[in-house]
Structure 1
Amino acid sequence: MSLETEKHAPARRTQAERRAQSDRSLLLAAAELIAEEGFQAATFEKVGARAGYSRGLASQRFGSKDGLIEALIDYLHDRSDELAAGHHIENLSGLEAILASVDVYLRNLEEEQAVRSYFVALAGSVATLSRLRTAFAASHQRAKERFRTLIEKGQRDGTVALDLVAETSALMVGSLLLGISTQCLIDPTTDLPSVREAALNTLRRSLGAPK
């Protein structure tokens, strides 16, 4: 191989990078199956086949169906954090950061199948009284804490009303997103862009500091 060829040859991925890629492929395959066919469809056999790997690899990586769903929850949270960082939400005022977070979430809900799979899995875990309810409760707590932090930031910078209780207001924002997400699962024809606009206007009026 010439020096010129070596210069332009793609760098060989490390073992950690290959593992991260295979994990991501397995999780996305699970998300697609759940969104398309329901919670019970995400078997290791189907997940491995769709991702282009063996059933054994999915079992080895996640151990159980619950382990797979817990990993999917973590992946979706990490994905949400990446989207927020890409929009530089941390540089916005408290109120604008809340609105931008809601906007990014709802646009992602409309465009990415993986997000819809979260709520299908949530419904399945509640219906079957699965121990995964604990994992989903922790996930919702994590989202609530994120909004609570932004509400408190807004109260400090003067963009969010001081008479609001940050904890309960954060729960309200999270519950709004949960309700919209569930509605879109029940009725895929829901006009999400219009709902998104209405949600943003409502939150601006209900959270914003008086002028």
Structure 2
Amino acid sequence: MSTARPATPPPQAGARADVRRRPAREEVRRAVLDAAAQVFARQGIDGASLDDVAAAAGFTKGAVYSNFGSKEGLVAALVEDRTSAYLDLGLEAVDQADATLVERARLLGDRLTAASEEQRDWHLLFTELWQRAVRTASSDGAFVERRRELRAAVSSAIEAHARETGAALPLAADDLATLLMALANGLAIERLVAPGEVPDDLMGRVLALVVGGGGSGPDHH
């Protein structure tokens, strides 16, 4: 969005100047990140230009460069932003003082499923980022690093909530974290392909079964 305007004489004393509020830096970053998620998902990271992202966000390409430095910088920031958002969502879902571990697992699954519906563009982008990491055999890129950090955070949260509820975990916390991430990603992809064939509560039911050691009731642990 161009900020250039025709030159005008200075306002008279006591007159009200027509000053347009400049968006705060965080507002610009948020708008660019949201636009990037949509544009990259629909056009591909390599197929989309920063001009495309800037236009979708309503700013100039200079605003993108000044906030993220480059396309790779923007991609890295987008990965970190979405990873942090999903982690916050998960921690909020399981932070239920009076709930059993199985109940928290069911709620977590339901929340993540709802989030996958709201962030369909992110899951399209996720598959491309995964392909890039696999094809380049990169072990130190932003995508891989954020996945490691997410897995470690999820594992720590599982251990903490198991101690709090007194529940015995059916698998090691690290293994459960890997299973949770794989299940969330896999079901999100299946919902993209066949949205009417994956029940909304499937992930919650599966997670409840896993942490409950096979029990069918929400209070079994």
TM range (shorter): 0.7 to 0.9
TM-score w.r.t. length of structure 2:
0.72
Q: 2:66 aligns with which of 36, 47, 60?
A: 60
Contact 2:170 2:210 (8 Å CA) reproduced: no
How has the CA–CA distance of structure 1 residues 153 and 123 changed in structure 2, closer, same or farther, with 3 Å as cutoff? closer
Which entry has the higher C-alpha Rg, 1 or 2? 2
Q: Gaps spanning 5+ residues in structure 2: where? A: 1-19, 214-219
Summarize the alignment of residues 46-195 of structure 1 with structure 2, pairs less than 5 Å apart.
Answer: 46-81=52-87, 83-84=89-90, 89-92=94-97, 93=99, 94-126=101-133, 129=136, 134-158=141-165, 160-185=167-192, 187=193, 189-191=194-196, 194=199
* CA offsets 1:109-160 (integer angstroms, 9 cap, x no match): 1123443244144145236528596222222223222331232134323464
| Bigger Cα displacement from structure 2, 140-149 vs 112-121 | 112-121
Q: Gaps spanning 5+ residues in structure 1: where? A: 1-11
Contact 2:93 2:107 (8 Å CA) reproduced: no
Q: 2:26 aligns with which of 14, 20, 25?
A: 20
**Paired residue type of 1:109:** S
How has the CA–CA distance of structure 1 residues 60 and 128 changed in structure 2, closer, same or farther, with 3 Å as cutoff? farther
Pairwise CA distance, 1:67: 0.8
CA RMSD of aligned residues (A): 3.0
Contact 1:89 1:97 (8 Å CA) reproduced: yes
**Paired residue type of 1:37:** Q
Following the alignment from structure 1 to structure 2, what is the Cα–Cα distance between the partners of residues 71 and 34?
13
How has the CA–CA distance of structure 1 residues 133 and 115 changed in structure 2, closer, same or farther, with 3 Å as cutoff? farther
What's the counterpart of residue 7 of structure 1?
Answer: none
Structure richer in helix, relative to its length: 1
* CA offsets 1:141-199 (integer angstroms, 9 cap, x no match): 232223312321343234643452111121111111122233344x1x333650x4222
**Paired residue type of 2:171:** L
Pairwise CA distance, 1:63: 1.6
**Alignment coverage as a number of residue pairs:** 194
Summarize the alignment of residues 22-37 of structure 1 with structure 2, pairs less than 5 Å apart.
Answer: 22-37=28-43
By relative contact order (CA 8 Å, sep 6+), the higher-ranking structure is: 2
Q: Using the aligned pairs only, state the percent identity.
A: 24
**Paired residue type of 1:152:** E
What's the counterpart of residue 204 of structure 2?
Answer: 200
